[in-house]
């Protein structure tokens, strides 16, 4: 069992997301620690890309703030090194393929291994192109977290084959960002995925409220919240600790409700 | 078996370039598109409908014109222009758009979206959408909507909705980002008409096939007129669709030089250019592995050209491979050289060509004198220049506003 799948053991996991170097290098390190202490089970760190085609406006703007603070892939690894002095929380990088490609596949995953980065989510790497990266990830014992979309249908089987971390189920088409209503039939989607893998399934894209979390956790093994957390950081800047703790506590409480854990 | 599998994975590859590097949210639709294209490209009805549209609506075949005054003035090779500027909507873009929207119609789509730089692809898409009764939305960088305001109005006139894209640099690459995002959120009724030989497979292959009529016609027309193949083909490259169209049927004719002209802007040694193959490195962006202008960290550069249609930080994967194989040459042409060629062609031959195409004309001006009078250069005039007249006037300090 990997470090990541442990995070799902006997509970519904809450997965949080921050953008590296937002609002600045030091503070984004502190916020990872804050989120972990408040009970976040897995933390995704976003590596900013100049052209983030899978991301909505909230995360795009965070990326622009991070660029002003001099973010780069190398800087993200320096950040994780500092984080690892403070917490063992499972960490996952969300990074576009070109950043990894330019850094060098081998060098990138070696750095992940060295820093105990447990997984990588690559939004622009479909299963068709996975093999060129997978060999390096495997060598470094780093999970490639596959994404399944509402439209994946008969692609699901090959997408989730060999998953050793968790499956990222994308709740809605389009880009990241909070949505009031998720129209995808998540129950069916999650059970379709479960037909092909024993790996835990976490649902992300558009999730922000405890009510949504309760609903999703009835079938899924975890929820992923990105834009809602990034928005708190955008609003509170370098003083976001309190709001982050409140937010995570509420989401964790929702995920602990007995009805959530019934199945 | 192992070999078959390998072949299967290599669909849409040009050497190491190409591929399908896009979010999973789009892959289902991309799979459908690959299947539909592979079926219809061999379907006699589809082929006949497309040929009819090209001939009866778009004004194909386009003329191959022997520019005798210019040939004489330059004192070297005989220069022929492939007159894509005389197509309906004024550029080669219509060839691809007719193909893709006809395909979209077969796939039961009711809405098309597209990115545009100079506006020529947007105008072509809006035109064919009107012709085929499809809803149409165009994504255009804010900077480009200002450079090409006449084309914005033209698209509206044709019934399209134009979105001004303010993210990033507000130019072509950002328009592509916005169109891809829109497509990811709505594939059921919508086809994304990519305007160049770029993006994930099948686009680079499909768009090339739709543009390849250019080189098929050149070959036929030139052999009819001169009994020979050309010595060189010259075309401008942004994403590279008119160039690949003009090159394609000559790739196997190894004696025909294939020359792509990139936008060198203020010069390739400044920061203001879009000369991808001269200054770029291998990367993965907009669904493809190809050559891009980017920094060491893999962040895509801001690029610059006087021409909104060449203002793109990447190039189609087949061009990247043609360059890697040394089968095609790629040269940079500066703003100044392109503007000078724009004026020269107008005076010498009475043709006002697009500033994009004038990057190719500028190179012809350099190349022709080095060749003998029995040699032949074919230059692809990819578009007409009406859209550029006001901007060129301003470049020369005239006070004209369109």
SS3 for A262? coil
Q: Are residues B310 and B372 in the same domain?
A: yes
Amino acid A263: pLDDT: 45
Identify the contact set of chain B against chain A, taking CB-CB distances under 8 A: 9, 19-25, 27-29, 31, 167-168, 173-174, 177, 180-181, 184-187, 281-287, 292, 294, 296-300
Is A124 close to B287, i.e. CB distance below 8 A? Answer: yes
Is B27 close to A126, i.e. CB distance below 8 A? Answer: yes
Identify the contact set of chain A against chain B, taking CB-CB distances under 8 A: 49-51, 53-54, 60, 67, 72-74, 96-103, 123-129, 131, 146-153, 155, 159, 170, 173-175
Chain B CB contacts of A73 below 8 Å: 297-298
Q: Are residues B218 and B287 in the same domain?
A: yes
Domain count, chain B: 2
Q: Are residues B167 and B232 in the same domain?
A: no
Is B298 close to A98, i.e. CB distance below 8 A? Answer: yes
Amino acid B353: pLDDT: 98
Q: What's chain A's length in residues?
A: 263
Chain B CB contacts of A168 below 8 Å: none
- Picking from B20, B186, B300, the nearest residue to A51 by CB comes out as B300
Chain B CB contacts of A124 below 8 Å: 21-23, 284, 287
Q: Is residue B223 part of a domain?
A: yes
Q: Chain B closest CA to A47's CA: distance in Å?
A: 11
SS3 for B229? coil
Q: Are residues B178 and B194 in the same domain?
A: yes
Whole-number Å distance between alpha carbons of A66 and A72:
9
Interface A-B: count of C-beta contacts within 8 A: 116
Q: Chain B closest CA to A141's CA: distance in Å?
A: 23
Whole domain around residue B66: which residue ranges?
A: 59-91+212-395
Amino acid A172: pLDDT: 86
Chain A CB contacts of B170 below 8 Å: none
* Residue at a domain's end among B186, B207, B228: B207
Whether the predicted pLDDT of A174 surpasses 80: no
Q: Chain B closest CA to A259's CA: distance in Å?
A: 31
- Picking from A73, A131, A152, the nearest residue to B24 by CB comes out as A152
Which of B5, B297, B303, B312 to probe the A interface (max A CBs under 10 A)? B297
- pLDDT in single tens digits along all 402 residues of chain B: 444 444 444 779 999 999 999 999 999 999 999 999 999 999 999 999 999 999 999 999 999 999 999 999 999 999 999 999 999 999 999 999 999 999 999 999 999 999 998 899 999 999 999 999 999 999 999 988 987 888 899 999 999 999 999 988 888 899 999 999 999 999 999 999 999 999 999 999 999 999 999 999 999 999 999 999 999 999 999 999 999 999 999 999 999 999 999 999 999 999 999 999 999 999 999 999 999 999 999 999 999 999 988 989 999 999 999 999 999 999 999 999 999 999 999 999 999 999 999 999 999 999 999 999 999 999 999 999 998 998 899 999 997 765
Q: Are residues B232 and B369 in the same domain?
A: yes
CATH number of the domain residue B35 falls in: 3.40.50.1100
Q: Are residues B240 and B113 in the same domain?
A: no
Is A170 close to B177, i.e. CB distance below 8 A? Answer: no
CA B120 to mean position of chain CA atoms: 10
Q: What's chain B's length in residues?
A: 402
**Residue B91 DSSP symbol:** B
Q: Chain A closest CA to B254's CA: distance in Å?
A: 32
Q: Chain A closest CA to B259's CA: distance in Å?
A: 28
Amino acid B167: pLDDT: 86
Q: Chain B closest CA to A170's CA: distance in Å?
A: 8
How far CA A31 is from CA of A18, A65, B141, in Å, comes to: 8, 16, 35
- Picking from A51, A102, A147, the nearest residue to B297 by CB comes out as A102
For A49, the closest chain B residue by CA position comes to B299
Is B180 close to A99, i.e. CB distance below 8 A? Answer: no
- Picking from A60, A129, A149, the nearest residue to B167 by CB comes out as A60
CA B25 to mean position of chain CA atoms: 27
Amino acid A259: pLDDT: 57
Banded model confidence at residue A6, pLDDT cuts 50, 70, 90: confident
Taking the domain A13-257, which CATH number applies?
3.20.20.70
* Residue at a domain's end among B207, B227, B245: B207
- Picking from A98, A128, A173, the nearest residue to B184 by CB comes out as A173
Chain A CB contacts of B177 below 8 Å: 51, 53
Whole-number Å distance between alpha carbons of B162 and B159:
10
Q: Are residues B75 and B22 in the same domain?
A: no
Q: Is residue B309 part of a domain?
A: yes
Q: Are residues B98 and B68 in the same domain?
A: no
Asked if residues B211 and B94 have their Cβ atoms less than 8 Å apart, the reply is no
Is A155 close to B28, i.e. CB distance below 8 A? Answer: yes
Whether the predicted pLDDT of A154 surpasses 80: yes
For B301, the closest chain A residue by CA position comes to A50
ipTM, two decimals: 0.94
* Residue at a domain's end among B179, B207, B235: B207
Asked if residues B114 and B121 have their Cβ atoms less than 8 Å apart, the reply is yes
CA-based max dimension of chain A: 47
Average pLDDT of every residue of chain A: 94
For A103, the closest chain B residue by CA position comes to B297
Left, alpha or beta for B267 (phi > 0: left; psi -120 to 50: alpha)? Answer: left
Is A149 close to B23, i.e. CB distance below 8 A? Answer: yes
Banded model confidence at residue A257, pLDDT cuts 50, 70, 90: confident
Chain A CB contacts of B299 below 8 Å: 49-50, 67, 99
Banded model confidence at residue A180, pLDDT cuts 50, 70, 90: confident
Selection from A166, A156, A145, A165 nearest residue A193 by Cα: A156
Q: Are residues B159 and B41 in the same domain?
A: yes
Q: Is residue B128 part of a domain?
A: yes
A80 is written with which tokens? Answer: 């994780």
Is A149 close to B28, i.e. CB distance below 8 A? Answer: yes
Q: Are residues B383 and B273 in the same domain?
A: yes
Asked if residues B308 and B174 have their Cβ atoms less than 8 Å apart, the reply is no
Q: Is residue B105 part of a domain?
A: yes
Catalytic residue IDs of A: 44, 55
Catalytic residue IDs of B: 93, 115, 382
Amino acid B327: pLDDT: 98
Q: Are residues B278 and B188 in the same domain?
A: no
- Picking from B21, B173, B297, the nearest residue to A99 by CB comes out as B297
Q: Is residue B402 part of a domain?
A: no
Whole-number Å distance between alpha carbons of B402 and B391:
9
Neighbours of B228 (CB within 10 A): 12
Is A149 close to B294, i.e. CB distance below 8 A? Answer: no
Whole-number Å distance between alpha carbons of B113 and B183:
8
Chain B CB contacts of A96 below 8 Å: 298
Q: Chain B closest CA to A179's CA: distance in Å?
A: 13
Whole-number Å distance between alpha carbons of B125 and B398:
32
Q: Is residue B4 part of a domain?
A: no
Q: Is residue B49 part of a domain?
A: yes
> Where are chain A's structural domains?
13-257
Q: Are residues B271 and B196 in the same domain?
A: no
Whole-number Å distance between alpha carbons of A256 and A251:
9
């Amino acid at each position: 069992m990997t470090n990541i799948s442990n995070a799902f053991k006997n509970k519904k996991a809450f997965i949080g997301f921050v953008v590296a170097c937002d609002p600045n290098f030091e503070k984004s390190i502190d916020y990872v620690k804050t989120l972990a202490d408040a009970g976040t089970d897995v933390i995704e760190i976003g590596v900013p890309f100049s052209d983030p085609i899978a991301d909505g406006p909230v995360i795009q703007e965070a990326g622009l703030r991070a660029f002003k603070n001099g973010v780069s892939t190398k800087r993200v690894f320096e950040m994780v090194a500092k984080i690892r002095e403070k917490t063992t929380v499972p960490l996952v990088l969300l990074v576009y393929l070109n950043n990894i490609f330019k850094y060098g596949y081998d060098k990138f995953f070696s750095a992940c291994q060295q820093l105990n980065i447990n997984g990588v989510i690559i939004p622009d790497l479909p299963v068709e192109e996975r093999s060129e990266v997978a060999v390096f990830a495997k060598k470094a014992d780093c999970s490639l977290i596959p994404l399944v979309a509402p439209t994946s249908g008969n692609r699901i089987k090959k997408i989730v084959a060999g998953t050793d971390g968790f499956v990222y189920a994308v709740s809605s088409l389009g880009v990241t960002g909070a949505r009031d209503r998720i129209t995808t039939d998540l129950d069916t989607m999650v059970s379709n995925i479960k037909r092909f893998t024993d790996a835990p399934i976490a649902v992300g894209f558009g999730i922000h409220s405890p009510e949504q979390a309760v609903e999703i956790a009835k079938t899924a093994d975890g929820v992923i919240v990105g834009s809602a957390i990034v928005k708190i950081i955008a609003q509170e800047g370098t003083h976001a600790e309190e709001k982050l703790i409140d937010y995570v506590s509420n989401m964790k409480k929702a995920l602990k409700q007995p009805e959530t854990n019934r199945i | 078996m192992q070999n078959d599998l390998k072949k299967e994975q290599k669909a849409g590859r040009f050497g190491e370039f190409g591929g399908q590097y896009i979010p999973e949210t789009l892959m289902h639709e991309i799979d459908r598109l690959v299947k539909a294209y592979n079926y219809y490209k061999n379907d006699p009805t589809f082929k006949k409908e497309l040929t009819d549209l090209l001939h009866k609506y778009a004004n194909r075949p386009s003329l191959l014109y022997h520019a005798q005054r210019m040939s004489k003035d330059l004192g070297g090779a005989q220069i022929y222009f492939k007159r894509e500027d005389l197509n309906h909507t004024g550029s080669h873009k219509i060839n691809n758009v007719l193909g893709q929207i006809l395909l979209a119609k077969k796939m039961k789509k009711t809405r098309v979206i597209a990115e545009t730089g100079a506006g020529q692809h947007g105008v072509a898409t809006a035109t064919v959408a009107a012709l085929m009764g499809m809803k149409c939305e165009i994504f255009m960088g804010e900077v480009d909507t200002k450079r090409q305001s006449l084309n914005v109005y033209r698209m509206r006139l044709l019934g399209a909705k134009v979105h001004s894209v303010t993210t990033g640099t507000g130019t072509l690459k950002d328009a592509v980002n916005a169109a891809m995002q829109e497509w990811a959120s709505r594939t059921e009724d919508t086809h994304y008409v990519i305007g160049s030989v770029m993006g994930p497979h099948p686009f680079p292959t499909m768009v090339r096939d739709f543009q390849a009529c250019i080189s098929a016609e050149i070959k036929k027309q030139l052999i009819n007129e001169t009994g020979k193949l050309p010595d060189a083909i010259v075309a401008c490259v942004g994403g590279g669709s008119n160039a690949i169209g003009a090159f394609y049927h000559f790739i196997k004719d190894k004696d025909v030089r294939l020359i792509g002209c990139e936008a060198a802007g203020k010069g390739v040694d400044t920061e203001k250019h879009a000369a991808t193959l001269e200054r770029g490195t291998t990367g993965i962006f907009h669904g493809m592995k190809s050559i891009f202008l980017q920094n060491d960290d893999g962040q895509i550069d801001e690029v610059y050209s006087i021409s909104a249609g060449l203002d793109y930080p990447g190039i189609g994967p087949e061009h990247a491979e043609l360059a890697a194989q040394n089968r095609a040459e790629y040269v940079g042409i500066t703003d100044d050289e392109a503007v000078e060629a724009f004026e020269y062609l107008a005076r010498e031959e009475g043709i006002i060509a697009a500033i994009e195409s004038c990057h190719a004309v500028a190179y012809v001006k350099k190349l022709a004198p080095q060749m003998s009078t029995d040699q032949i250069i074919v230059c692809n005039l990819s578009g007409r220049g009406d859209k550029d007249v006001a901007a060129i006037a301003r470049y020369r300090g005239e006070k004209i506003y369109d």
